[in-house]
Amino acid sequence: MAGRSETKKLLAIVLAVVAITLAGGYGMAALRGDHPGRPPEVTVVIKSKSQSMEFWQVLTEGVYVAAKEFGVNAKVVGPQRETDVDVQIDILKQVIREKPDAILLAATDYNRIVPLAEEIDEAGIPLMTVDSGVNSDIPRSFIATDNVEAGKKAGSKLAELVEGPAKVAVISYVKETATQIERERGVREILEADERFDIVGTYYSDGDENIAYETTKELLRKHPDLAGVVGLNEPSSVGAGRAIKDMGRRGEVKLVGFDSSIDEVRLLEEGIIQATVVQRPFNMGYLSIKTAVDLMAGKKVPAVIDTGSLVVTKSNMYEDENQQLLFPFN
Amino acid sequence: MNLFRFRTIQSNIAAALAFLIVIMAVVMGFIAYRLSTSAVQRTAQEFTAELIKQVNANIQSYVNNMENTSLLVLNNRGVRNYLSGESDDDASVTDFLKTIMLSRKDIASIGVFGYNGRFVSDGGIGNMNPNVSVPDQSWYRQAREGQGKVVISPSHVQPVFDDYRWVVSLSREVRNADNSRGLGILLVDLNFSVINDILSGIELGKRGYVFIVDQGGRIVYHPQQQLLYSNLKQEKIDEALALGSGSFISDEGGQSRIYTVQDSGFGWKIVGVSYVNELVNNKGQMQTSFVTLGGISLVVALLLSFLLSRNLSRPIHQMQKHMSEVEKGNFDIQVPVDSTREIGMLARAFNLMVVRIRELMAQVVKEQEFKRKSELNALQAQINPHFLYNTLDSIVWMAENNKSAEVVRMTSALARLFRASISKGSELVPIRNEIEHISNYLTIQKMRYRDKLDFHIDADDGIKHFLTLKVLLQPLVENAIYHGIKNKYGTGVIRISGEREGETIVLRVCDNGVGMDEEKRKTLLTPGASPAEGRGVGLINVHERIQLYFGAAYGLSIVSAPDEGTTVVVKLPAVDKSGKEGES
């Protein structure tokens, strides 16, 4: 009967209208970016949770600011000391069991953490590295200071400060550490290319201020005509600075340091350290979460993200842009 | 669009209703959603403004405290004397500053720096940073230029003291007692952490935040200051500065932000930033519930419209069913009268119509029956056995008297009479035939009655082709002879005339017989009132036949008076063979 098929047609139109309306509503809601359901969990495994490690404290702050902005549940874990590789391995194992939606890792060791990266990959959790990478292709992105570039900046600054021809030296920290290798490469790239300079050598402090102090004293005695020193991290720079100060060589031996601390700031103000290359840990933390969010959203993320570095001198250290890098408020 | 064209009323009504409901639901839903969204947004905005005001009040109170503290120091004679060199008692000034500090946890340090190089702070001189030149500090320079005006710095690290604290500095020039010259600069540092604590504790939705800029556009506080400096983020500082107090919305699509600006009164602007899509915190939820609610009401409304339209069309359907019954010929039905007014009226009218049709059909049947009966009567009249017998008797009588010529005349008239009446079975004949018929009949009668009867026929030639009923005149003539002339003394004359009057043909049968009185005349054409003797039976028969064929406007009428004769007037419509109207 015609009436029956007509009723069916009517019903079909009505259903279609209802379906379109509902779909439209939900589509609109989806387009507006309302994500129902739980926020993604991201775990950040850093090298040190110690309150005294300003770099990691500021990075953590950046992580939380980004987490708030992007609606991510971020958790920051890590060993007490940067050298606690085994502790970090244990922490990573625990994190894998918790199965977060993404892991951000600042590896305490370039090689020993690789098996853990593989485990993370097998668990199907996207992995990104922050600040310190691992010797593996697994991480989707590496968010860190371009240390070669930072090293070049330090080298260029020293070349600017020392007239030459002159002898210069590099006080590094832990040999075979990825960051130190890159920084040294950057420094050497600049200074070796400059005929005025003779690099007497690279000396390792093992990240110990006192070793740096003693090494520099020794170096200054051995090479009284040494005109420039580059300290590749905070303890190395402070140790070298103290040695120059104690040897009464303030101003004669130019020192370009890395990172910052109250001690380093004092040396900078005293004119013992002429410049220090600072990183941007806040941005590093912020960008690492932002990258993780992009990755989870299925976007393509760059393999390497440079968070940048900055040369700070006595004259510009109290400028708005720099004082927060030198003096994080805590 | 063929998709939306329906054949049944029900579908049409349902579709129209559904369409209306959908439109209404969408429009109403949209309006309600917009209204509630803007209401929520307004509330949130008001809340933010209130919050920012509160923050401003808090910060203001800290700044006021600093200012009060500075006044305390400025008005201290010991401080002035020490700066001007009138006194060397730095210990009492330090004690004085220390006393102030004891009551003020939010103040980080107080220092007085004389233009003559003297300086004193709450910590004595031991905590000074030897590597920093105080006169180079911007708060120092600005206060000196200000000549006693209060200068409030953005947040900064205070390098003068060697604990490198984040502070907000209030500085102003200390002037001598008669205000004629400056003696030095007073510095009051507010622990920035107190402001930081206020601001970082504020929740403006999940992602909102508060920042402060000074009048120069320098950031006093921003939770993402470093991102701004490294250009990872942009902040609408210029717009906030341009606005005194109030709010504006940045146009960033889904990431649009509402800026609520509050001028602090001492150069800072406190700006609350909240995300539009977050202000309406449960926007998605609201959308979902609106859509769901809309969907449910839609389905319910559509069902209702479906039922309603079915209810409306059901009686129509029912009636249509009954009508098709009628179509098939069943008139013995009545549609149940629906309660709905229009449909009920329709049903009542339909029922009446069916009844009327039934009655008309019965009438038609009756009339047909009567027609046949009257034809039979006419036929009988034609071959009246009496007439035949009398005629034949006359012929026999004439033959016996050897009046052969008359026998021939009469016999041939009889033959013509019968032949004329055999008119191909048709009920209607031209008037010409009828005239011929009646003249034959009268010829026979005249021969029978001899001197007692004479007749004249005088019909217009113009009417002879019009039609009349067969054997119409014979009963009238018969009547005139048997009831009018037969009882009369002397010769009776019958006149038959015919003429046209407009669209009517008028035939008259006129006798000069005995006539009748008015009473009798009246009863003649009234059915059932005919007298027993039979006079008038033929008249009524003719009258009814005419009316049956041509309608009530036609028929017979009688004019008569006693002893004066009778005239029967026949009225017929002027119908000829070509215009066959009236023949049913």
DSSP per position, B314-381: HHHHHHHHHHHHHHTT-----PPPPSSHHHHHHHHHHHHHHHHHHHHHHHHHHHHHHHHHHHHHHHHH
Angle formed by the axes of helices A281-296 and A54-70, nearest 10°: 40
What pLDDT does A34 receive?
46
Enter the CATH code of domain B76-195. 3.30.450.20
What pLDDT does A1 receive?
41
Check pLDDT > 60 for residue B281: no
User: What order do you get walking across the sheet with A309-313 strand by strand?
Assistant: A197-204, A166-172, A226-231, A254-258, A275-279, A309-313
- Cβ contacts from A onto B, under 8 A: 121
The domain ranges of chain B are: 76-195, 383-573
pLDDT in tens, B225-276: 888 887 788 888 888 888 878 888 887 777 788 888 888 888 888 998 888 7
Query: Is A26–B206 a contact, with Cβ atoms under 8 angstroms apart?
Result: no
Query: Residue A7: its chain B contacts at CB < 8 A?
Result: 11
pLDDT-derived band of residue B583, with 50, 70 and 90 as boundaries? very low
What pLDDT does B536 receive?
64
Which tops the pLDDT comparison, B424 or B96?
B96
Which tops the pLDDT comparison, B14 or A140?
A140
Q: Which has the minimum average pLDDT: A198-202, A205-209, A243-247?
A: A205-209
Measured between CA atoms, the residue of chain A closest to residue B280 is A34
A306 min Cα distance to partner chain B (Å): 12
B574 min Cα distance to partner chain A (Å): 55
> What phi and psi, each to the nearest 5 degrees, are found at residue B258?
-100, 125
* Spatial separation of the C-alpha atoms in residues B86 and B41, rounded to whole Å: 63
Q: Does B159 contact chain A (CB < 8 Å)?
A: yes
DSSP letter for A140, please.
Answer: S
Mean pLDDT throughout B114-123?
A: 83
Query: Is B254–A32 a contact, with Cβ atoms under 8 angstroms apart?
Result: yes
Helix-, strand-, coil-residue percentages of chain B, each rounded to 5: 55, 20, 25
Report yes or no: A22 and B295 within 8 Å, Cβ to Cβ.
Answer: yes
Enter the CATH code of domain B383-573. 3.30.565.10
Q: Does A169 contact chain B (CB < 8 Å)?
A: no
- Smallest Cβ–Cβ distance between B226 and the set A21, A262, A282 belongs to A282
Query: Is A21–B196 a contact, with Cβ atoms under 8 angstroms apart?
Result: no
pLDDT in tens, A46-58: 988 888 778 898 8
pLDDT-derived band of residue B552, with 50, 70 and 90 as boundaries? confident
- Smallest Cβ–Cβ distance between A21 and the set B157, B284, B291 belongs to B291
> What phi and psi, each to the nearest 5 degrees, are found at residue A144?
-160, 170
pLDDT in tens, B173-214: 988 878 888 889 999 999 988 888 888 888 887 788 889 998
Query: What's the pTM value of the predicted model, to 2 decimals?
Result: 0.64
Query: Residue B304: its chain A contacts at CB < 8 A?
Result: none
Interface of A with B in 45-84 (CB under 8 A): 62, 65, 68-69, 71
* Spatial separation of the C-alpha atoms in residues B414 and B456, rounded to whole Å: 19
* Spatial separation of the C-alpha atoms in residues A273 and A296, rounded to whole Å: 43
Query: Residue A34: its chain B contacts at CB < 8 A?
Result: 277, 283-284, 287
Residue to test with chain A: of B7, B203, B226, B304, most A Cβ within 10 A: B226
What pLDDT does B280 receive?
60
- Per CATH, B76-195 and B383-573 having the same topology is answered no
Mean pLDDT throughout A79-97?
A: 91
* Spatial separation of the C-alpha atoms in residues A133 and A146, rounded to whole Å: 12
Check pLDDT > 50 for residue A281: yes
Q: Does B169 contact chain A (CB < 8 Å)?
A: no
* Spatial separation of the C-alpha atoms in residues A139 and A143, rounded to whole Å: 10
Check pLDDT > 90 for residue A311: yes
**pLDDT, averaged across chain B:** 82
Radius of gyration of chain B (CA): 65
Which among B443, B442, B440 is positioned nearest to B421, based on CA atoms? B440
Query: Is B291–A26 a contact, with Cβ atoms under 8 angstroms apart?
Result: yes
Alpha carbon separation from B250 to A61, B204, B214, B236, B270 (Å, rounded) = 26, 16, 20, 8, 17
Query: Is B290–A62 a contact, with Cβ atoms under 8 angstroms apart?
Result: no
> What phi and psi, each to the nearest 5 degrees, are found at residue B264?
-80, -20
Query: Residue A329: its chain B contacts at CB < 8 A?
Result: 166, 192-193, 196
Query: In B175-199, which positions are buried (b, 16+ CB within 10 angstroms) versus exposed (e)?
Result: beeeeeebbbbbbbbbbbbbbbebb
Provide the sign of the torsion angle of the four alpha carbons B427, B430, B433, B438, taken in this order.
positive
pLDDT in tens, B286-297: 777 777 777 787
Mean pLDDT throughout B341-350?
A: 82
What pLDDT does B339 receive?
67
* Spatial separation of the C-alpha atoms in residues B186 and B253, rounded to whole Å: 49
User: Which tokens is B179 given?
Assistant: 């205000």
Q: Which domains does chain A have, with CATH numbers?
A: 41-145+281-299 (3.40.50.2300), 147-279 (3.40.50.2300)
What pLDDT does A95 receive?
94
Report yes or no: A325 and A278 within 8 Å, Cβ to Cβ.
Answer: yes
Check pLDDT > 80 for residue B359: yes
Interface of A with B in 103-142 (CB under 8 A): none
Check pLDDT > 50 for residue A2: no
Query: Residue B289: its chain A contacts at CB < 8 A?
Result: none
pLDDT in tens, A31-78: 554 444 678 999 999 988 888 778 898 899 999 989 988 889 999 999
A137 min Cα distance to partner chain B (Å): 27
User: What string of DSSP letters covers A280-297?
Assistant: -HHHHHHHHHHHHHHHHT
Query: Is A283–B227 a contact, with Cβ atoms under 8 angstroms apart?
Result: yes
Query: Is A326–B157 a contact, with Cβ atoms under 8 angstroms apart?
Result: yes
Percent of chain B with pLDDT over 90: 8
Name beta bridge partners: B273.
B209, B259
What pLDDT does B582 receive?
38
